[in-house]
Chains A and B, each alone.
Chain A
Amino acid sequence: MMELEALQEIYSEVRALGAQSVALTPELERYTRNVHKKLNLPFDILTDLHLKTAEQLRLVFVLPDYLRDLYKSFGNSLDRFHDEPGYRLPVPARYVIDKEGIIRAADVNADYTIRPEPSETIKVLRALKP
């Protein structure tokens, strides 16, 4: 959520640099619709159904049983949110992809409380500008 808000703050700069933002999550549209509305996001949230794109980026992990139990106790029923029985998630990640489809920045961190600053992303986009 904080990641989305941070991306929202830099959105006009991203657009001014000729780029766009999208956020991907394994959650079904009934959930992305609510998040999008609640945060009033200027960019799309895309449903990465059954984590197909996350799999291709090799970001997917299966939650260990003890974590699954903890999430369930909080009411976080990922099976319902993702429409699949397995409890899987993407590692938090931010990528910058250039016009040729090549990854120019990759921030992947197993610790969800560590994220790159949006200003770093702006720097990368600036360097890509022709």
Chain B
Amino acid sequence: MASLQSRLDEFKKAFESGAPPYNAPHEAIETTHRATAELKASGIENIALKVGDRAPEFTLFNQDHVNVNSADLLRQGPIVVSFFRGHW
């Protein structure tokens, strides 16, 4: 299986070509570039919690409406916590 980054690069290339299946208009591509540049310039990457910081505890509903508590998970071992934007 190709690396995650190479798959993302493929996607980016396809999206920015403006061709199907994305058919992204030129302005849409410009807009996403601008937004990414501004977000980077906001310094958010350095503001976010870092290695050595204590992670916040959370209790959140999973996809089956069952509460999942981070402390319960950590009692069993380390956890990988990944944030993603959504289904779109």
Contacts and interface: CB of A to CB of B under 8 A. Distances in A.
A49 B60 CA distance: 8
A96 B58 contact: no
Contacts of A22: 68, 73, 79-82
B63 A91 contact: no
Interface string B2-34: 011101110110000000000000001001101
Give the secondary structure class of A's interface. Answer: mixed
B68 to A, nearest CB: 6
Nearest to A73: B28
A53 B74 CA distance: 16
Given A24-B60, A44-B68, A108 B45 contact: yes
Interface residues of A, number: 82
Given A31-B87, A103-B49, A21 B79 contact: yes
Interface of B: 1, 3-5, 7-9, 11-12, 28, 31-32, 34-36, 38-40, 42, 44-45, 47-58, 60-65, 68, 70-71, 73-88
Interface of A: 1-4, 6-7, 9, 14, 17-27, 29, 31-37, 44-49, 52-54, 56-59, 61, 63-64, 66-67, 70, 74, 76, 78, 81, 89-106, 108-118, 121, 125, 128
